[in-house]
């Protein structure tokens, strides 16, 4: 590790600014806390408010170069092995938006993993890119989606010869990690950049026992949600540009896209937290992760010992779409107990004030951070699970519940952008068959979008979504969560002509 990694130039410059009690003739109007509401001051403290300064403050992000802000971003790039890193103040979501805009400078088509995060779909809306969707591997037993295989990516790229990028997700919410090395080879062999949404894997660069992280494995642009597991403040994240990415994606275009997708008033506390989280990960990450992985291994063993429960772990490796497993997620398979994941999550809240990251019909997911030490919460979870399982009992039919495969996606009749900006109307679900969706519908389980904006709705898909709802599942993205109605695009040629004349977007 480079000695520079022990430094936090941005955090230090901010502390020095606050400590010297400058005349703050700039925003924000609370003036370092003096003008703040007393309740806020008490809640978050004078120190935090004194650090809340605007962009373009001399000696912090403007002035003698490299400024502390530039130095901190360089240290971050070095820590993750990138050519360049950008601090993002609008989460990994911003990273996806920026990636889409940067790709759109190179062409109009892209291959996208079908179960991408909603911010990737928003990126398609913003950029106007036309996606070819590539299906992740679906685990019919658990009812969850894993990663994209290199074969699937290759076929999607072959079907999209004008694609300018391949956009994948790894790790998943459940800890499945893709074979990024092979995916990068496939993308590069077809002359396109590999964009990896590694929102859930920022920690993987800091321990040799963890799966190889996306940059190291050859991805070109990596979206990293630093706040998730590495533990910077919520909403802070990073975008990493690989050393060889310049051959396939333009660095300055990415820079411009990052600026376009963020406020002109980036929050200094968020940036400082990225600087500090990078130092902690680079200097202490290995030791912290060793400890956390040890405690989690023990916790998994305790959960497996509870009759009716199982855990997802490295035994998943080798299943289709699971090249490796990230142990920082604790996913509990609840098919053996007589309650769904939804019911168990509610019970855990009531029994032990246990608040989970995610739950579905068959699985509960608890997330652990890189810097947790005692991991008391892990024991609280185990204890509460014991009580909950004793309350609900075991399932009679055994743990073999699976779910019906979703019907094929409808034809992509227009780009997500055209559907989003086009004239729209809300129609009863029964009348929506054959219409173009203006919104996403993603049933949970397994959480893969059944419909995306721009796709034609089919009777099979609408029936599938309805039956998932009837069985206690949910649908995300729909304006009507009960799917009595659907928002669709108005396609009538007459209306479109009228719009063109009046310039209306509907």
Q: What does the binding site for ligand PLP look like in residue numbers (CB under 6 A)?
A: 91-93, 96, 117, 119, 169, 197, 199-200, 225, 237
Contact assessment for residue 441 and residue 451, using Cβ atoms and an 8 Å cutoff: yes
Evaluated on CA atoms 310, 314, 319, 320, the torsion sign reads positive
Cα separation, 410 vs 390, in Å, equals: 44
Tell me how far, at minimum, the Cβ of 263 lies from ligand PLP, in Å.
14
Tell me how far, at minimum, the Cβ of 121 lies from ligand PLP, in Å.
11
Alpha helices, DSSP H, located in 398-492: 416-421, 459-470
Our CB check for ligand PLP shows the closer of 199 and 271 to be: 199
**Cβ atoms < 10 Å from Cβ of 350:** 12
Cα separation, 506 vs 32, in Å, equals: 44
Tell me how far, at minimum, the Cβ of 493 lies from ligand PLP, in Å.
38
Tell me how far, at minimum, the Cβ of 505 lies from ligand PLP, in Å.
27
Contact assessment for residue 281 and residue 230, using Cβ atoms and an 8 Å cutoff: yes
Our CB check for ligand PLP shows the closer of 364 and 382 to be: 364
Q: Strand, helix or coil at 412?
A: strand
Give the torsion through C-alpha atoms of 394, 399, 403, 405, to 10 deg: 170
Query: For residue 121, which of 461, 445, 452, 413 has the smallest C-alpha distance?
Result: 452
**ω into 28 cis (within 30 of 0):** yes
Contact assessment for residue 240 and residue 232, using Cβ atoms and an 8 Å cutoff: no
Cα separation, 474 vs 482, in Å, equals: 8
Tell me how far, at minimum, the Cβ of 84 lies from ligand PLP, in Å.
19
Our CB check for ligand PLP shows the closer of 235 and 292 to be: 235
Tell me how far, at minimum, the Cβ of 224 lies from ligand PLP, in Å.
9
Tell me how far, at minimum, the Cβ of 50 lies from ligand PLP, in Å.
26
Please give the helix or strand (H or E) that residue 289 lies within, else none: helix 268-304
Our CB check for ligand PLP shows the closer of 89 and 382 to be: 89
Our CB check for ligand PLP shows the closer of 225 and 261 to be: 225
Our CB check for ligand PLP shows the closer of 13 and 196 to be: 196
Our CB check for ligand PLP shows the closer of 93 and 450 to be: 93
Our CB check for ligand PLP shows the closer of 95 and 308 to be: 95
β-pairing, 144-145 vs 138-139, is antiparallel
Tell me how far, at minimum, the Cβ of 135 lies from ligand PLP, in Å.
16
Tell me how far, at minimum, the Cβ of 90 lies from ligand PLP, in Å.
7
Residue in the shown chain whose Cβ atom is closest to ligand PLP: 91
SS (H, E, C) 55-89: CCCECCCECCCCCHHHHHHHHHHHHHCCCEEEEEC
Our CB check for ligand PLP shows the closer of 86 and 200 to be: 200
């Amino acid at each position: 590790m480079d000695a520079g990694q022990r430094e936090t130039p941005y955090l230090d410059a901010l502390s020095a600014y606050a400590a010297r009690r400058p005349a703050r003739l700039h925003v924000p109007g609370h003036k370092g806390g003096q003008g703040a509401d007393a309740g806020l001051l008490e809640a978050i403290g004078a120190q935090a408010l004194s650090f809340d300064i605007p962009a373009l403050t001399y000696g912090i992000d403007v002035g003698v170069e490299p400024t502390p802000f530039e130095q901190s971003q360089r240290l971050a790039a070095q820590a993750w092995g990138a050519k360049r890193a950008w601090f993002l103040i609008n989460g990994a979501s911003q990273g996806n938006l920026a990636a889409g805009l940067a790709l759109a400078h190179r062409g109009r088509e892209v291959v996208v993993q079908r179960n991408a995060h909603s911010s990737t779909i928003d990126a398609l809306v913003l950029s106007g890119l036309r996606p070819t969707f590539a299906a992740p591997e679906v685990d019919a037993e658990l009812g969850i989606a894993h990663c994209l295989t290199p074969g699937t990516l290759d076929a999607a790229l072959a079907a999209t010869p004008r694609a300018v990028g391949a956009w994948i997700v790894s790790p998943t919410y459940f800890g499945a990690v893709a074979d990024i090395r092979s995916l990068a080879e496939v993308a590069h062999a077809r002359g396109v950049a590999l964009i990896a949404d590694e929102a859930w894997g920022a920690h993987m660069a800091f321990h040799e026992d963890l799966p190889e992280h996306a940059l190291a494995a050859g991805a070109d642009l990596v979206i990293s949600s630093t706040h998730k597991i590495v533990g910077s403040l919520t909403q802070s994240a990073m975008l990493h540009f690989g050393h060889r990415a310049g051959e396939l994606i333009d660095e300055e275009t990415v820079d411009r896209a990052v600026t376009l997708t963020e406020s002109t008033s980036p929050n200094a506390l968020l940036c400082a937290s990225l600087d500090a989280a990078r130092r902690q990960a680079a200097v202490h990450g290995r030791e912290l992760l060793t400890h956390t992985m040890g405690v989690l291994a023990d916790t998994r063993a305790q959960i497996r010992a509870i009759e009716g429960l199982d855990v997802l772990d490295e035994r998943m490796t080798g299943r289709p779409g699971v090249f490796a497993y990230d142990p920082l997620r604790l996913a509990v398979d609840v098919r053996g107990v007589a309650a769904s994941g939804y019911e168990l999550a509610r019970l855990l809240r009531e029994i032990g004030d246990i608040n989970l990251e995610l739950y579905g019909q068959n699985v509960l997911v608890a997330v652990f951070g890189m810097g947790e030490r005692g991991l008391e919460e892990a024991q609280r979870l185990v204890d509460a699970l014991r009580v909950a399982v004793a309350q609900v009992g075991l399932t009679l039919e055994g743990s073999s519940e699976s779910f019906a495969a979703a019907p094929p996606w409808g034809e992509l009749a227009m780009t997500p952008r055209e559907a989003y900006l086009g004239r729209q109307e809300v129609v009863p679900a029964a009348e929506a068959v054959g219409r173009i969706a203006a919104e996403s519908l993603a049933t949970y389980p397994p959480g893969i979008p059944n419909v995306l904006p721009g796709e034609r709705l089919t009777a099979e898909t609408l029936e599938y979504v309805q039956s998932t709802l009837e069985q206690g599942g949910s649908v995300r993205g729909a304006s009507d969560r009960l799917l009595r109605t659907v928002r669709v695009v108005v396609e009538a040629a007459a209306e479109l002509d009228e719009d063109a004349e009046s310039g209306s977007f509907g």
